[in-house]
Amino acid sequence: MKLILLGPPGAGKGTQSQIIAEKHGIPQLSTGDMLRAAVKAGTPVGLKAKEIMAAGGLVSDEIVVGIIADRISEPDCARGFILDGFPRTLPQAAALDALLTSKSLKLDRVVELKVDDTILVSRIETRAKETLAAGGTVRADDNADALKTRLMAYYRETSPLTGYYFAHGLLKTVDGMAPIADVTRQIDGVLGEVQNA
């Protein structure tokens, strides 16, 4: 099962990817998580990405495509994977197509989590509060200013991907406003269609 979850920041991509990854025994590939790990470790990629991420901008296509190309080649991806936060631009989508074609692989579905923009700010604020309450460190980009930039980046760069994948016959849209378990059920329904195809 090779799946992409699409949606704006705060739509629930991370939450749903984790649940589905666990259920189906396939890895969740989050470029955001990988980049945050690189920033923390102070690697050359992390040093390049740090300021851009904190401001809510997009890291270069070259960097993230390189990260995903390496990750998809690892043995745990042989049975499939869930891409969470990648691709985020049309050139990234084209690079992913080329990468998969070179491995004789194909995407099964692209699931769009459709949400009302007005709730994104409160979801991000809640995530920051919950992280603090649990004694964790709040993401550098979980604040109002960075969120505005992230939303702009989403609408300018990422939202065209819904048209791209619709045209490829891969797009399924689910209601991301529903409670977490309902969203999971909707995604499971989409995956069931793939498995029964």
Cβ distance to ligand AMP smaller for residue 12 or 56: 56
Residue type, 70: D
Rounded to whole angstroms, the Cα distance separating 34 from 126 reads 23
Contact 34, 66 (CB under 8 A): no
Q: Applying CB under 6 A, which of residues 3, 20, 45, 86 lies at the interface with ligand AMP?
A: 86
CA atoms within 13 A on the CB side of 170: 20
Handedness of CA 115, 118, 121, 123 (dihedral sign): negative
State which residue has the least CB distance to ligand AMP: 32
Q: Rounded distance, CA 195 to CA 24, Å?
A: 12
The reply on whether position 172 binds ligand AMP by CB under 6 A is no
Interface with ligand AMP (CB under 6 A), residue from 2, 50, 88, 109: 88
Decide if 20 contacts 191 (C-beta within 8 A): yes
Q: Tell me which of 4, 150, 174, 191 binds ligand AMP, using CB under 6 A.
A: 150
Sole binder of ligand AMP in the list 7, 8, 32, 176 (CB under 6 A): 32
Interface ranges with ligand AMP (CB under 6 A): 9, 31-32, 35, 52-53, 56-59, 64, 85-88, 92, 141, 150
Catalytic residues, by residue number, are 13, 88, 127, 139, 150
